[in-house]
Every structure is written in structure tokens, then in C-alpha cells.
Structure 1
Amino acid sequence: MDGREYSLIEKRLKYHRVMIMAKDLYWADSYVTKLKKADEAIRLIRGGQRVFIGSVCGEPQHLVRALVENAGRLNGVEIVRMLSAESAPLSAIANKTKDASLNIRNIYLGATISESLAHNRRFITPMNMSDVPMLFKSRKMPINVALIQVSPPDDFGWMSLGVSVDVTMAAAQSADYVIAQINNKMPRVMGHSFIHVNDVDSIVEYNEDLLVIGEQPRSDVASQIGKNISRLIEDGSTLQVGLDAASQATVQALINKNDLGLHSQYLTQDVMHLYSKGVINNRRKGFNDGKLVASAAVGTENLYEFLHDNPGIEFYPSDYVNDPFIIGRHNRMVTMNVARRIDLTGQVTAEASAGTLFAGISGIPDFVRGARRSPGGRSIIFLPSTKSDGTESNIVPTLDNAPVVVSRGDVHWVATEYGIANLFGKSIQERVMAMITIAHPDFRDELLSSAKEQGMIGKERGLGEAVRAVYP
């Protein structure tokens, strides 16, 4: 390369550096030109477009309300979102207009047994959480407009997606047009949670309370399950925790553990409490040491305040947090997820509930598989042995028409209030006997008879003393 060619390249590089600096220096001017009212921004959506809405507690409620108000002029718009409680009647509009105005695509892997979910079963797109970002970024499902909620920009024009990085980051990065609601109440969360003012197209300033869930009522059954599971968790373990009351009861049962870490889809109130007491310190994770790592948060205003500018917390998108290979790099990774029902061979179905804003199910298989890759890792599936009224067993001969969320080959540890069963490496007959011994005593004879009828165990088999056992 001669001096003239080098000089030309140097001039071009200098020009690009100047342009980049100018872009960063004048983001504030760009901010002003992008300011719009919600109605004005939403009116830019055209018929036939696909619109993504930010997830769970990060939902831009003000923008969604404006979308609903404009639904009458829209035709063939598809709403894409992770399944969550609706702050505005999107599904009702879709049902009323027979999908002509709005059509809904709820990404969700779980069962739809309950009436609230079964009513809109046709809207479900079953996917693993870790695969969703690739769906958007590869343009296999192009996003035309992304509605997101962010914190106010810092001095350099960076805004945080706050409590909902998960799949929202991928949607914002791949969308043709991004409308951002800037909310002073959105915490600024560290990690890979930031989007620049220059990378959004319309800005709507509107402050409102974020969606929250309070303390869920915990039963004696949930507390006993938590005590049983706590025996499987060693000091120095890294945890993934579900959103349900039983998961949080398990977290509470870990108060006497030491040097725990967290790598989880969601960060919750009870995790915050264990962190504040030093039980969780992330020192022995073996990967991302010293950091609470998650992709979203669900809780109260106290939790969101805890997240704000906290250098000990990092949020990443779901294709990182839910990647089984990333999960497997942690020491003693223990995943704890609740099932709706489990059959006698170990097949699991799980279902979201209103108490968790219908979140927290689609990532279960990712963490189950990731824990198996971890040195000393354990995957634990747990459930109460019966429905809340005690009339039906949650351990059943077969799942019938319920979807399998975790296959029996992936299930290792199963816990109820009556004990723990390890299914790894066991035959069908051994699995059946193990599952019956942790079922509710009132249903063990019935389960044994069904298993014999279906040829899952020998007809000469009996439970003996195990039929009356209560363990521990």
C-alpha cells in the first residue's frame, strides 16, 4: 500500500469518525424531532402490519391503550407478544371482529387447560423462549412495528429496556419502525439492556406505574415442597427460579444456605430478599461471577427500585439467558420449575396462571436441558400432589390431551410435599413406582391399578408399606 492510498483510507476513516461523533453529539436534537403524542405515533401503523408489544411488566400500557382506541381503523394487524395478562382488551377486539381488525399471536409453550387460556387457544404459538429472538432477527417473522417501554435517556442518549429485556431487545433491533414510551418509573438496569435514541423512530413521553404482582399466598403444601427441595441444593449452587408461589416458598426455604448465585429468566421479590441477606452473593457461579443475571423482572415497586442502576445486576436477552449452553457453564446449576400435572412415566405439562400475569412457562425446557450440562447441576420439577381442593391427583396415569412441556427423557428430579423421586436412568416400571410413592396417599391405590391396566408395571406388583408412607 503506497502513501497516497493510505492517506485516502485515513481520510475516509476520519470522515466516518466525525460522522459517528456528530450522530452521538446531536442525539438530543433527534430526540426532539421524534417526540409525538401516543395517538399520533400509533396512527403510523398501517393495515396488514405485524406489531410487537413489550413483554409482561415492561408492557408500554399507554401505547397499548392508544392502539386499542385506534383499532376501529385498522385491518389485518397482527399483534405479537409473549403471553401475558392484557392491560387492554386486545383479544376481545380480535374475537369481536373475528380477527379482521386485530389478530393475536401469543408466544407460549404451556398448556391451555384453564378456561381463561382455553378460550383463546387459537392465538397460541408454541416456542421455546431461547428461540424467539432468532425468529425476529432472522426475519422469519418480520416485525414491522415494535412498541416498547424504556427509561429516560442518559447523557449519551442510551435508554434501558428496564424490567423486560427478554425478547423485546430482538424485536426492537429487527423492527422496521420502533415506537418507544419513555417512562420515568422504568428502572435503568445494567447489562445488555440499552437501546439508543437514534435507533428508535418515535418517542412518546408518558409516566405511569409499571405492572406489578404482589406477594402470592403460600400454603403449607408449598412450604413443605420448599423444605424438601432445599435438601437437594448445596452451598455454592446457581439457581433458576420460577414465578409461582411454590417456587418462591422454595427460595424462602434456602435462608440457611451460603454463597448461592442466580441465573434465571426472571428476577423476583424473594430473590431480592435473599440477596439483601447475603445468601445470594454470586461468588461461586463459575460464570458471570458477582452478578445476578436475568432477562426480566416481575414484582413490586420495591423490586424495581432495587434494580435501578444496581451494578450487581445484569439483564440480557433471552437467547443468552435461556441458552442451554450458557446455563450449563454455571457451577451446580439448579433449576426449579412447577408443573401442572405429571404422568406416571415423568411427562410434564405446565400452565401459566393469572397470579404471575401468565408469564414464566416458555423457558422451562431451556433451563431443564441447561442444568444437565452443568457440573453438579440438577433439574427439579415440582408440584402439589393434588388440586387445591384435594379432589384430584396432579400425578396422573397419562397426560391425555395436555401438551408435553418437558419430555420424560429430560426429567430427573420430581418433588411433591410427600417427597422426592429421581427418575434419571429408571425404567417405566421403576418410574411408575417412584411417582406413586410421592403421590397423595388417597390416590396411590388408584394410580397403581391404572398402571397395571396400561401394562406399565407387572400385575403382581404392590406398594406394600409405601402406600401409607408420608415422606419425609
Structure 2
Amino acid sequence: MSNTTASVDSPNDPGDVLRHLRPGADVIVPIQFGEPQTLLDTLEGSAERLERVRVHRMDPFAERRYIRGEFGDRLRHVDYFLGPGSREAYWAGTCDLVPNHFSEMPLLLRRVTDRPLVLAAASLPDRHGYFSLGTNADYTAAFIGEAPFFLEANANMPRTFGQNQVHISQVAGWCRADRALPEVVPVPPDERDHAIAGHIAERIADGSCLQIGVGRIPDALLAALTGHRDLGVHTEALSDGMMDLIECGAVTGTRKHQLRNKHVATFCVGSRRLLDWLDNNSSVAMVPVDWVNDPRVVAREPTFVSINATSEVDLMGQAASETIAGRYWSSSGGQADFARGAMYSPGGQAFLVLHAATSSGESRIKATLTPGSVVTTLKNTVDHVVTEYGVAALRGKSLHERAMALIAVAHPDHRDRLRHDARAAGLLR
């Protein structure tokens, strides 16, 4: 590893990153918008010079040549949450997938990497010599001060605050690449999404602290909360819907116990409008995931409310959220982290949401999970399961009561079959 000191006034050539990659090197790359595209282009363009370099990252947006396995063992992708850029590659066997809870990512990376180099997108350095990791803190910010960073500074990356600031003295090198960041434009919710949102919104009290995922149902819920007051944000992903709720005054953070008056997240994903809103917005605190998602931290916020999506639920309450039809689609993420934290929060609640049936009409509530499905959130942890037909409250309920509650929120076309299967399994008397 080179010991050269980077200069704020003199960016490096992207090719200089190759000097820091010894044989067997481990590289850590942020989630989603934090991808340093030019630096990864450089690694792929010089792959013949590399030996057994592994790139560790979560949820890549776009498939790349190294993810497809084009460079063999010279440059290989290790994934911790399948995204659109790695899903097919994993199915084809050209990359690896490591199971994890999102909160434990820094711990895992410390164990499985050896003197890693962090490659990340960042804002331009400020007059004090600090770069910001912008839309990200995630697991990469946990390595500030522990591992060298090689940054790709981008004038289009918003400058954010919190614990994602990297000083020039901690940077092995940096290059400049002013490129447009990708956008994730919200898809409008449908009637089912709004129905689910209505069931949950009426159960959320003013002053609650929220963790809400990204997608149509979360956006519908956020829109349904505009009449609430003094809500707080302590969330994994900050999205357009959360921004809208903050702007309308429903979210203030004044009743939070930790980082009061701050909107806490560990990464951001959304539209160009969200990126512009984030820039120099001191109300947002970007904090590493091993604090944000730690169930012990979450539990210290009273009336914490966690809302996440799942793929299917069986009649005992087991939730499979990372496989679809028995095939790996994503990974655990922070779902179990927040479900556990909410369970111990005074007055806390956790909701798992799903449409009652698939687009082809198959029930998502099943007597037994689809073969090959992976249990993401244990039945002992699941609190509420919500479909467009209502809320099944499971905590503290018997297996018989759970089956009855889940059948009641299943699609009406499937309820008779579910009752039959539940009796056959001994769940219903």
C-alpha cells in the first residue's frame, strides 16, 4: 500500500488507484448512489494487471463486467444484498452472496477483509479539506480512520453532514468525475398500497419515531401521515416520501431521545429533487449503519415504529422477505434489525407489509412457505402483518390465533384453502 499523501489542490488520475491494489486486495464500495463509477471502470479496464482482488458491496444498481464474472478470479464481486446489478449474476454463479444483518456489515467486513481499501463517490472537498460521502454513510463510513479511502469527487454529489466526513489526511488519493447521479423515481401507489397505508397510519401516534422502507407502500404510508405532528426519523433509507413528510412539518424530531431534531439515515435513494434537497441540509444526519440499525440503539427511542416489506408469510408468522418463489432476490437488509429494536422500544411497533396476492393471483399468505424460501424475520419477532384487507397482530398470540388472524387478512379467494391447510397442519382446531 502506497503511503503517499493526497492533496486537496491536486486530484489524482483515476489510474493511480491501481498502485494501492496488492495481490489479494479487498476493496469496499458503498451501496447504490455511492458507487465510484470511474474508479470501477479503471479496475475493469486494467483487470489483467490485478490478482485476486475482491470487491465487497451491497445492492449495485447496474450490472458491470466484473460482476458478470468476465475477469474470473482477478476481479470478483462479493455481494451482501442483491440488487438489479447483481441478481442475474448471482443466479448465473459469477458472484458470491454473504448472508448478513445490515447492522453487522462493518463487523463482518472487518472479519473477512484484510487491510481493505475503500473506494467511494464523494462531494468535492470543502475549504477545510473535508469530503462528504454524500448520499451514503452505510458501512463505508464506519471505516473512516480505520482504512485508507480513494475517493471519486463529484460536483453533483450533495454535501451532507453527520458521521460521513472524510478529511484529506485520511485519503490515499482522489480523482474528479463530474457525472450525473442515477435517479430512482417513485412509482405511484395503487389502491392496495393506500389501503395498507391507512391501516397503519391510524396506529401511529404523534411523536413516534419512524423507520420506513422504500417503495410504493412506504410512499403511500408517508403520504398518509401528513396530518401527524412531531414525528421523528431514524431510518435506514431516506427517500422522496420522507423528504415530503419533513417539508410539510409532520416530522420535526423534537421528541426523539437520540440526535434530537435531526433526521437520521444511513443512505439516501430517490429523485434528483431529493439530491438537491439533501445538499447542505444540516437537518439530515448521515450515520454509519452499525449505529443506525443496531437494535439496542433503536430500542432507546420510545414509540419506535418500523415498517418493512415482505414477500410471503406462513400461518405461523414466519416472514420470507429476501426470496421470491423460493429464489434469492435480495437479502435480509435491516428488516430484522428494526423489528427487534421496535420490540424492545417502549410503546414500539413493527409492521411487515405485503399485498395479499401476487400479480398472478397466488396468495402471499401461505400454510407453509414456498420451498427454497428463506426466513428473514422469525415468527417470535414478527409483530404485525398488514395487507390491504387489514392488520394481523401476532405478538403474544397462540399458533391457532395467529393462523386465524393471518387468514382474516389473506385474499378472500384463498381463505377457504388456507383454513383447510391450517387444519391439516394442526394449526386450527
Change in Cα spacing, 1:182 to 1:48, as seen in structure 2 (3 Å) is same
Contact 1:294 1:316 (C-alpha < 8 Å) held by counterparts: yes
Contact 2:313 2:319 (C-alpha < 8 Å) held by counterparts: yes
State which of 300, 307, 310 in structure 1 corresponds to 2:278: 307
For residues 155-174 of structure 1, what are the structure 2 equivalents within 5 Å? 155-174=127-146
**For the residues of structure 1 that align with 2:424 and 2:29, how far apart are their CA atoms?**
49
Task: Find the residue that maps to 1:132 and give its secondary structure.
Answer: helix
State which of 114, 117, 124 in structure 2 corresponds to 1:152: 124
**For the residues of structure 1 that align with 2:245 and 2:142, how far apart are their CA atoms?**
31
Contact 1:292 1:312 (C-alpha < 8 Å) held by counterparts: yes
Aligned residue identity for 1:80 = H
1:122-174 Cα offsets, whole Å, 9 max, x none, are 6110111111112334x543243211111111221111111011101124543
Q: Point out the structure with max Rg over C-alpha.
A: 1
State which of 82, 85, 90 in structure 1 corresponds to 2:58: 82
Range with greater deviation from structure 2 (99-108 or 224-233): 99-108
Aligned residue number for residue 22 of structure 1:
none
Aligned residue identity for 2:42 = A
Is 2:2 aligned against 1:30? no
Aligned residue number for residue 104 of structure 1:
77
Contact 1:61 1:87 (C-alpha < 8 Å) held by counterparts: no
**For the residues of structure 2 that align with 1:410 and 1:429, how far apart are their CA atoms?**
17
1:335-371 Cα offsets, whole Å, 9 max, x none, are 0000011111111111389xxxx88951111111111
Task: Find the residue that maps to 2:151 and give its secondary structure.
Answer: strand
Contact 1:109 1:126 (C-alpha < 8 Å) held by counterparts: no
State which of 29, 32, 37 in structure 2 corresponds to 1:53: 29
**For the residues of structure 1 that align with 2:88 and 2:64, how far apart are their CA atoms?**
19
Compute the displacement of 1:437 (Å). 0.5
Aligned residue number for residue 240 of structure 2:
269
Change in Cα spacing, 1:162 to 1:117, as seen in structure 2 (3 Å) is same
1:230-288 Cα offsets, whole Å, 9 max, x none, are 11111111100101211111111112212111100111101111111101111122332
1:349-399 Cα offsets, whole Å, 9 max, x none, are 11389xxxx889511111111111212110111100011232x11111112
Aligned residue identity for 2:340 = R
Aligned residue number for residue 398 of structure 1:
368
Aligned residue number for residue 129 of structure 1:
102
**For the residues of structure 2 that align with 1:36 and 1:127, how far apart are their CA atoms?**
35
Aligned residue identity for 1:153 = P
State which of 339, 342, 350 in structure 1 corresponds to 2:321: 350
Task: Find the residue that maps to 1:185 and give its secondary structure.
Answer: coil
Change in Cα spacing, 1:149 to 1:279, as seen in structure 2 (3 Å) is same
**For the residues of structure 1 that align with 2:94 and 2:427, how far apart are their CA atoms?**
32
1:51-99 Cα offsets, whole Å, 9 max, x none, are 111221111111112222222332322110013323533321x1x45x4
Change in Cα spacing, 1:71 to 1:217, as seen in structure 2 (3 Å) is farther
Is 2:349 aligned against 1:378? yes
Compute the displacement of 1:212 (Å). 1.9
**For the residues of structure 2 that align with 1:394 and 1:101, how far apart are their CA atoms?**
42
**For the residues of structure 1 that align with 2:273 and 2:29, how far apart are their CA atoms?**
25
Contact 2:99 2:331 (C-alpha < 8 Å) held by counterparts: no
**For the residues of structure 1 that align with 2:101 and 2:192, how far apart are their CA atoms?**
29
**For the residues of structure 2 that align with 1:327 and 1:450, how far apart are their CA atoms?**
37
Change in Cα spacing, 1:380 to 1:121, as seen in structure 2 (3 Å) is farther
State which of 427, 430, 445 in structure 1 corresponds to 2:416: 445
State which of 179, 193, 199 in structure 1 corresponds to 2:164: 193
Aligned residue number for residue 418 of structure 1:
389
Structure 1 stretches lacking a partner, 5+ long: 1-26, 459-472
Aligned residue identity for 1:151 = S
Structure 2 stretches lacking a partner, 5+ long: none
Contact 2:26 2:53 (C-alpha < 8 Å) held by counterparts: yes
More helix by share: 1
**For the residues of structure 2 that align with 1:305 and 1:352, how far apart are their CA atoms?**
34
Contact 1:58 1:211 (C-alpha < 8 Å) held by counterparts: no
Aligned residue number for residue 182 of structure 2:
211
**For the residues of structure 1 that align with 2:241 and 2:323, how far apart are their CA atoms?**
19
| CA RMSD of superposed structures (Å) | 2.3
Compute the displacement of 1:334 (Å). 0.3
Aligned residue number for residue 468 of structure 1:
none
1:397-426 Cα offsets, whole Å, 9 max, x none, are 112321111000000111000000110111
**For the residues of structure 1 that align with 2:323 and 2:154, how far apart are their CA atoms?**
28
Compute the displacement of 1:182 (Å). 0.9
Change in Cα spacing, 1:362 to 1:228, as seen in structure 2 (3 Å) is same
Identity %: 32
Compute the displacement of 1:41 (Å). 2.1
**For the residues of structure 2 that align with 1:360 and 1:210, how far apart are their CA atoms?**
24
**For the residues of structure 2 that align with 1:127 and 1:296, how far apart are their CA atoms?**
17
Aligned residue number for residue 389 of structure 1:
360
Contact 1:71 1:102 (C-alpha < 8 Å) held by counterparts: yes
Is 2:37 aligned against 1:64? no
Task: Find the residue that maps to 1:130 and give its secondary structure.
Answer: helix
Task: Find the residue that maps to 1:90 and give its secondary structure.
Answer: coil
Compute the displacement of 1:324 (Å). 1.0
State which of 191, 205, 212 in structure 2 corresponds to 1:234: 205
Question: When the two structures are aligned, how many residues end up with a matched partner?
Answer: 417
Compute the displacement of 1:32 (Å). 4.4
Contact 2:246 2:252 (C-alpha < 8 Å) held by counterparts: yes
Compute the displacement of 1:115 (Å). 6.2
Task: Find the residue that maps to 1:420 and give its secondary structure.
Answer: strand
Contact 1:109 1:125 (C-alpha < 8 Å) held by counterparts: no
Change in Cα spacing, 1:456 to 1:425, as seen in structure 2 (3 Å) is same
